[in-house]
């Protein structure tokens, strides 16, 4: 049909009128200029509003001081004269020599504990604990004349220093007598022999000088000094020393925990201080790091079984080959570490933002916003996780530590096994690790045609299979993450501990003002406190040892373990101050 022709019966619509073209106005440029000025004024006016919305979505930046409030230094008042007299004694060379002599003597008794120790009374490797008890009896006469001593399961020690007021909850101080064995092949690598207790003018050398005879001798020396000065406590003090902490405390702290629970009851103690975090320097700041929780623990045993036979006619994969692929896959599929609000490591990060002067400004800003912004939390996490040790504290770790299989080079291995050690994040659980293991191995078990049983439950059913894959708790000692100790402003034990740390640190250096921040934290391992959870909700794992910018380990569990003598004197000062402060407290 031709354009413009109207078909029969159609209605012709009216066409819109054409606007006449207006001539160019000389005022047009002025209108454009005025329009641009108007837009600029409007944008300038609403920018603060836009910025406030941007801040809302990106997280509000919290004042640094409110992230990690600090207690004031706390020194004894009722017993101020005694406190000052002891402080003067701690400065002398005579006391330093006495302290290192006490520690060196303890180190010279090799109270090693082994994974395969037999029953007490049958395995002769328990015998050194007897001479160690004799040593304590000899060098601490006031303690053994005044305190009530109870021996638990032969070598566990419980000392009661009874106070005058039975209505006050006692203070519980703990440590362990045993040490990690020294590999005889490493003796020649030690600067000084591992059980010499040698003092070179700066360090006391030997196994246990740091872990944990310095803690035990530090506590005992503080109590002995107070007794020598005639101090009589108002609040009872209990000392409990296990003897197999290095092999999970199954005979020592386990029995001690049962004894203390049956004797005193649940939640009977005001607070508990055991070995743990130390003093360190980070990002230009000095921090005391009491551990307020512990990660959980499980060793997962991975066991494969399959047909044997002569190695001249091998299958595509032997049990060892299958195990190798399973383990590589597991290592490549770790549980993702995430920094979560409300955890000890998150609070640790907040304290760095508040008190570490050399923390990168971008990281400080991210941490200050992390409370209200997931984006800022992830940014802080990404930066903090560049420190491998911090990332390991945050997440659930896994380490393949034991592997075995096969009996002969020309025989197909019928069995192969591995043990994977896990340290479970404080916001996770044993069940989460087990679930992760099942998910990680399920597909490979199917590919290799293996029946799959995990933690007592059949995953694949009873269908015929080439072999079997079994996951289990290797030692039957899986441990959930510990309860988290309160650290808020109303938590009197944490406030008292913090004040004690500060006053000890300041007094030892004769500082007029605080120069240390107390930061809730974690230690990487587990302690005897796993058996003491019911005794108090205020458990602190803290060793007042000044590690400076180092790790603070000083050869712990390896060659050349040594304890700085001045640091050891400061530890004794810390326990003295803690006992006196706790005795005067009306808030515990």
Contact criterion met (CB below 8 Å) for 470 and 303: yes
Q: Is 355 annotated as a binding residue?
A: no
Of 372, 371, 396, 370, the C-alpha closest to 382 is 370
C-alpha span between 432 and 172 (Å, rounded): 33
Q: Is 246 annotated as a binding residue?
A: yes
C-alpha span between 554 and 564 (Å, rounded): 9
Contact criterion met (CB below 8 Å) for 170 and 235: yes
Q: Is 200 annotated as a binding residue?
A: no
Contact criterion met (CB below 8 Å) for 512 and 283: no
With 0-12 / 13-18 / 19 or more C-beta atoms within 10 angstroms meaning exposed / middle / buried, residue 29 is exposed
Catalytic site residue from 61, 212, 224, 245: 245
Q: Is 317 annotated as a binding residue?
A: no
C-alpha span between 572 and 218 (Å, rounded): 5
134 catalytic residue (yes or no): no
Contact criterion met (CB below 8 Å) for 245 and 178: yes
C-alpha span between 68 and 287 (Å, rounded): 12
Q: How far is CA 499 from the centre of its chain?
A: 21
Alpha helices in 108-159 (DSSP H): 129-139, 141-146
Length of the chain, in residues:
588
Query: Coil, helix or strand for 583?
Result: helix
Q: What are the φ and ψ backbone dihedral angles of 515, each rounded to 5 degrees? A: -135, 20
| Contact residues for 376 (Cβ-Cβ < 8 A; gap 6+) | 58, 59, 365, 366, 367, 369, 370
Query: Which stretches of 437-486 are assigned E, i.e. beta strand?
Result: 450-454, 457-458, 467-473
Q: Is 427 annotated as a binding residue?
A: no
Strands 237-242 and 539-546: unpaired
178 catalytic residue (yes or no): yes
Contact criterion met (CB below 8 Å) for 122 and 210: no
Catalytic site residue from 178, 212, 224, 427: 178
Of 145, 278, 264, 310, the C-alpha closest to 211 is 278
C-alpha span between 372 and 376 (Å, rounded): 8
| Contact residues for 533 (Cβ-Cβ < 8 A; gap 6+) | 482, 483, 539
Query: Which stretches of 235-308 are assigned E, i.e. beta strand?
Result: 237-242, 271-282, 285-288, 291-293, 296-305
Q: What are the φ and ψ backbone dihedral angles of 232, each rounded to 5 degrees? A: -125, 120
Q: How far apart are the first and last CA of the chain?
A: 101
Query: Coil, helix or strand for 130?
Result: helix
Question: Would you list which residues are annotated within the binding site for Zn(2+)?
Answer: 176, 211, 246, 274, 557
Which residues participate in catalysis according to the annotation?
A: 178, 245
Question: Would you list which residues are annotated within the binding site?
Answer: 176, 211, 246, 274, 557
């Amino acid at each position: 049909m031709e354009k413009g022709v109207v078909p029969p019966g159609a209605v012709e619509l009216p066409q819109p009128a054409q606007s006449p073209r207006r001539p160019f106005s000389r005022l047009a440029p002025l209108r454009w200029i005025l329009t641009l000025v108007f837009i600029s004024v409007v944008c300038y006016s609403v920018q603060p509003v836009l910025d406030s919305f941007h801040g809302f979505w990106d997280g509000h930046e919290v004042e640094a001081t409110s992230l990690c409030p600090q207690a004031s230094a706390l020194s004894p008042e009722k017993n101020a004269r005694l406190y000052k007299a002891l402080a003067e004694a701690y400065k002398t060379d005579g006391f330093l020599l006495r302290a290192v002599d006490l520690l060196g003597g303890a180190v010279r008794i090799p109270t090693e504990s082994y994974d395969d120790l037999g029953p007490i009374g049958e395995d002769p490797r328990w015998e050194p604990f007897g001479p160690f008890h004799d040593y304590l009896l000899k060098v601490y006469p006031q303690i053994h004349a005044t305190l009530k001593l109870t021996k638990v399961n032969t070598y566990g020690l419980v000392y009661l220093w009874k106070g005058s007021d039975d209505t006050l909850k006692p203070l519980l101080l703990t440590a362990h007598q045993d040490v990690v064995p020294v590999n005889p092949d490493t003796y020649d690598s030690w600067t000084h022999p591992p059980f010499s207790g040698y003092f070179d003018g700066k360090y006391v050398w030997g196994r246990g000088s740091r872990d944990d005879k310095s803690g035990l001798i530090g506590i005992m020396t503080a109590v002995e000094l107070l007794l020598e000065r005639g101090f009589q406590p108002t609040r009872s003090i209990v000392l409990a020393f296990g003897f197999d902490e290095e092999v999970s405390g199954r005979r020592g702290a386990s029995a001690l925990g049962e004894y203390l629970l049956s004797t005193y009851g649940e939640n009977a103690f005001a607070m508990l201080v055991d070995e743990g975090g130390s003093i360190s320097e980070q990002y230009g700041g000095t921090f005391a790091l009491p551990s307020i929780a512990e990660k959980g623990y499980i060793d997962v045993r991975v066991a494969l079984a399959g047909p044997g036979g002569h190695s001249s006619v091998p299958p595509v994969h032997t049990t060892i080959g299958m195990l190798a692929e399973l383990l590589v896959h597991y290592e490549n599929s770790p549980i993702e570490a995430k920094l979560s609000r409300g955890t000890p490591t998150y609070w640790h990060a907040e304290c760095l933002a508040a008190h570490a002067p050399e923390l990168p400004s971008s990281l400080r800003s991210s941490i200050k916003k992390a409370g209200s912004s997931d984006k800022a939390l992830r940014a802080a996490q990404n930066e903090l996780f560049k420190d491998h040790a911090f990332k390991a504290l945050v997440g659930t770790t896994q380490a393949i530590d034991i592997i075995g299989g096969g009996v002969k080079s020309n025989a197909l291995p019928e069995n192969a096994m591995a043990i994977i050690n896990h340290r479970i994040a404080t916001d996770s659980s044993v069940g989460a690790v087990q679930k992760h293991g099942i998910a990680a191995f399920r597909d490979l078990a199917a590919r290799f045609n293996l029946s799959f049983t995990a933690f007592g439950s059949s995953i694949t059913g009873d269908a015929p299979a080439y072999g079997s894959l079994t996951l289990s708790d290797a030692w039957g000692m899986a441990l959930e993450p510990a309860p988290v100790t309160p650290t808020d402003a109303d938590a009197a034990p944490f406030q008292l501990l913090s004040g004690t740390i500060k006053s000890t640190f300041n007094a030892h250096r004769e500082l007029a003002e605080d120069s240390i921040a107390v930061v809730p934290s974690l230690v990487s391992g587990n302690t005897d406190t796993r058996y003491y959870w019911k005794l108090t909700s205020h458990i602190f794992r803290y060793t007042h040892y000044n590690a400076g910018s180092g790790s603070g380990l000083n050869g712990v569990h390896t060659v050349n373990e040594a304890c700085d003598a001045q640091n050891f004197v400061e530890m004794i000062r810390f326990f003295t101050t803690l006992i006196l402060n706790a005795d005067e407290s009306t808030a515990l």
